[in-house]
Amino acid sequence: MEATKVIIPVAGWGTRSLPATKNVPKEMLPVYKKPAVQYVVEEAIEADLNDVVFVTNQQKRIIEDHFDYNLSLEALLRRTGKEHLLRDVRQVAEMANIISVRQKEQLGLGHAVLCAREVVKQEPFAVMVGDDLMFSRSPAIKQLMEVAKTEHMPVVGVVEVPRERVSKYGIIQAEEFAPGLYRVRHVFEKPDPKDAPSRLAIVGRYVLTPEIFHYLENLEPGYDLEYQLTDALQALALDKRLLAVKLEGRRFDIGDWADYLSANIYFALKDEELKDELVERLGEFLTNKK
Ligand code: UTP
């Protein structure tokens, strides 16, 4: 059976992005013209994951609202003849079937995924982290879905990171059985660079099966006293039930300021109308002219 639902956890506090995220969810910070989470939902839709399950909290209603109609705004755009903007805002509201579940306490990513258990029931499902943007020719989550479908196993996305950054990620120890495809033997949460078995870091793309819920339910608090998805993945790896796919393309972690700002510039430079002016301004900053 193929996944049709995607869980997108968006309930975290976003403390790395304070004070910007005091009242605005990190996932709603704009990346050029769209909020970050819209890129994640668009990637899901491209992979035919049309049922989007947001794991939210009471401060995050604005995320669901973004994917809903805004009838007063639409009436204004219609009255003022701004048809192209009307089309854009309608299209966002119609791109996915949105389902929401609440994470009442922010106890970690593993706990957030467990909160969606009743919605996904007995089907395989995707998980896409709401603040991790991936851009590649074939959508990252689709690359994982293809492997999950042929191998009948849970799959995580990994990217190669510089050794000095391994302590920010879950790092896999694995055997490559085909180019870019790995059987995962161990997952180490945020290892010291000198102890890391590889530079392959788990990023926010997963295709899982309901068997993960058994492990999530029985988790002990891990790193930062949170219920870590990585710990449940480690249990799957020990049972020889976890594969990894090396993802190509660009990735931006919205919770990291250098990544966040780079993502804005990356998309703005793709806009032909803005590009020249932006390049000129950036050039001024870089040469310290002003
Ligand atoms: P992060 O660890 O990047 O997000 O979680 P955070 O906790 O919001 O941010 P910092 O570290 O304090 O800055 C990855 C994703 O998982 C969600 C977050 O919203 C984010 O999209 N998350 C995290 C939850 O939904 N619930 C949690 O308890 C923790």
Question: 14 C-alpha vs ligand 1 centroid, how far in Å?
Answer: 6
| CA 235, 239, 240, 241 torsion-angle sign | negative
Distance CA 250, CA 20 (A): 24
Encoded amino acid at 190, one letter = K
Per-residue pLDDT tens over the stretch 47-95: 999 999 999 999 999 999 999 999 999 999 999 999 999 999 999 999 9
Please check the confidence at residue 127 and state whether its pLDDT lies above 90: yes
Let me know if residue 286 belongs to a domain: no
Let me know if residue 90 belongs to a domain: yes
Give residue ranges with CB within 6 A of ligand 1: 9-17, 26-27, 55, 103, 106-109, 111-112, 129-131, 255
Per-residue pLDDT tens over the stretch 150-170: 999 999 999 999 999 999 999
Q: What is the CATH number of the domain that holds 59?
A: 3.90.550.10
Question: 258 C-alpha vs ligand 1 centroid, how far in Å?
Answer: 18
Let me know if residue 282 belongs to a domain: no
Question: 118 C-alpha vs ligand 1 centroid, how far in Å?
Answer: 21
Specify the DSSP element, H or E, that contains 205.
strand 200-208
Let me know if residue 268 belongs to a domain: no
Counted domains in the chain: 1
Q: Retrieve residue 114's tokens.
A: 């467990």
pLDDT at 248: 86
Let me know if residue 263 belongs to a domain: no
pLDDT at 172: 97
Let me know if residue 117 belongs to a domain: yes
Let me know if residue 77 belongs to a domain: yes
pLDDT at 220: 83
Domain that holds residue 42: 5-255
Please check the confidence at residue 290 and state whether its pLDDT lies above 70: no
Per-residue pLDDT tens over the stretch 231-289: 999 999 999 999 999 998 899 999 999 999 999 999 999 999 999 999 999 999 999 76
Let me know if residue 68 belongs to a domain: yes
